[in-house]
Amino acid sequence: MRRSAVVALNTFREAVRDRVLYNLVFFALLMMVAAIAVGQISIGIEQIVIVSLGLSAISVIGLLISVFLGVALVSKEMDKRTLHALLAKPVRRWEFLLGKFGGLVLTLAVNTAAMALGLLLAMLYVKHSLERSDATVLVAVYFILLKLALIVALALLFSCFTTPLLAILFTAGLYTVGLYVQELRNLPLELLSPAMTAFTKWLSYLLPNFENFNVMAMAAHGRAVPVALILQNTLYTVVYCTIVLAIASVVFSRRNLK
């Protein structure tokens, strides 16, 4: 674990030095423009507009970072052969993978926290005060972070056995499918054969369910998110990430480096 932490901190340092956090400037500008514009054009629905816009921006920026950097975490090290000197140290391959995962999740956590702060400041500017119910925004941001962690784990898995381009496509594809898992579960079963019913049910539990992480509407309307959902999503992310990372470790531990 200590070795994974060393790798994680270096991954975070890499992200900072590669100016990944510069996206915060873009987000800050977006929030400033939105806050001023919302104040002038949306009467009575300022909170809905600014929260929806802010959470969407946090989600999209985080998605881009998690997919592209998630895939590059391992593939870049293999392509540039920086991994050779590292794996010649007493580091197990799974410790390296866990460290890379942890480092990017840490980067995303810092990035997301900074953006959440920006969103709260924009809300304060629009509403002139913050209420207790606005804390739901923080829960929504936390769910986005959980979702991003899942995406990083998937990107990491795909990059362990395929090319970076295919890994990006697979990750993006799986994310898109994961948004509609609920629909898959709600298919009119009476129209399907028993085999097909079993298959779609099995598939819907196998695929990552990203729909549960979307509480944007609740946050926009200041409605509280049930504690059970917070626990459920946290547990779901931990278990799913553990399984995905375990598979990635098995694949990566058998891989011949260039």
Partner 1 sequence: MPDLAIEIENLTKEYPFGFLHLKKKTSLEGLNMQVETGEVFGFIGPNGAGKSTTIKLLMGLIFPTAGSARILDKPISDVEMHRDVGYLPEQPHFYDYLTAAELLDYFARFHDLTAADQKERVQRMLKKVGLETARKIQLRKYSKGMLQRVGLAQAILHDPKVVILDEPMSGLDPVGRREVRDIILELKREGKTVMFSTHILSDAEMLCDRVGVIVGGKLRGVGAPGQIVDMKTQGMEILFELPGGSNAPLLSKATRTGDRYRLQVAEEELYGAIEQLRGAGARILSVSQVKATLEEFFMNLVEADRAQAAAVEVSEK
CB of 7 to partner 1, least distance (A): 9
- Contact between 155 and 105 under an 8 Å Cβ cutoff? The reply is no
In one-letter notation, the amino acid at residue 238 is V
* CB nearer to partner 1: pick between 92 and 221: 92
DSSP-derived secondary structure for 19-88: TGGGHHHHHHHHHHHHHHHHHHH-SS-HHHHHHHHHHHHHHHHHHHHHHHHHHHHHHHHHHHTHHHHHHT
Q: Does 3 bind partner 1 (CB under 8 A)?
A: yes
Residue numbers 55-114 binding partner 1 by CB under 8 A: 80-92
DSSP-based helix, strand, coil % in the chain, nearest 5: 85, 0, 15
* CB nearer to partner 1: pick between 159 and 233: 159
CB of 103 to partner 1, least distance (A): 12
Residue numbers 11-30 binding partner 1 by CB under 8 A: 13-14, 17-18
CB of 186 to partner 1, least distance (A): 40
CB of 98 to partner 1, least distance (A): 14
Interacting residue with partner 1 among 6, 106, 172, 177 (CB under 8 A): 6
Stretch binding partner 1 (CB under 8 A), from 6-14, 33-41, 103-111, 192-200: 6-14
CB of 172 to partner 1, least distance (A): 27
Q: Does 256 bind partner 1 (CB under 8 A)?
A: yes
CB of 49 to partner 1, least distance (A): 39
Instruction: Report d(CA 106, CA 121) in Å as an integer.
Output: 23
Instruction: Report d(CA 140, CA 44) in Å as an integer.
Output: 22
Instruction: Report d(CA 150, CA 156) in Å as an integer.
Output: 10
* CB nearer to partner 1: pick between 88 and 195: 88
The site that binds partner 1 (CB under 8 A) totals a number of residues, namely 23
Instruction: Report d(CA 61, CA 250) in Å as an integer.
Output: 30
Of 119, 113, 111, give the one whose Cα is nearest residue 34.
Answer: 119
Interface ranges with partner 1 (CB under 8 A): 3, 6, 10, 13-14, 17-18, 80-92, 254, 256-257
